[in-house]
Structure 1
Amino acid sequence: MIIKPESTITTWHQLQPIWQGGEELVKIGLPHSQLAPAWQILLLGDGSPTRHLRLLTSETIEVDVIDMSLIGDDLDNAPKGIEKIANPRIRRQVWLKTASGKRLAYATSWWEANHIDDYLQNRSLPIWESLAKLHTELYRDIQGIYYGKSEALEEGFEEKRTFWGRHYLFWHRGKPLTLIYEVFSPYLSKYLGKIKIDD
Structure 2
Amino acid sequence: MTGSEKADGYSRDVFVGLDPQEKEEVFRLLVTELPFSTEWLFFLDKEKALVIVKEKEEKLRGNSYSHVYMIQEELLKYSGGMSYQDRMIEDYPSYVDYLRPLVVDSIGRTPANMAAVNFFKQVILTETNDDAVARAARKLLGVLKFPRDTEANDKYYKRLVSELRSESTILKLQALSQIAKYEKNLPVDG
| Rg larger in structure | 2
TM range (shorter): under 0.3
Structure having the larger proportion of residues in helix: 2
- Normalising by structure 2, we get a TM-score of 0.22
Considering Cα pairs closer than 8 Å and 6+ residues apart, tell me whether 1 or 2 has the greater RCO.
Answer: 1
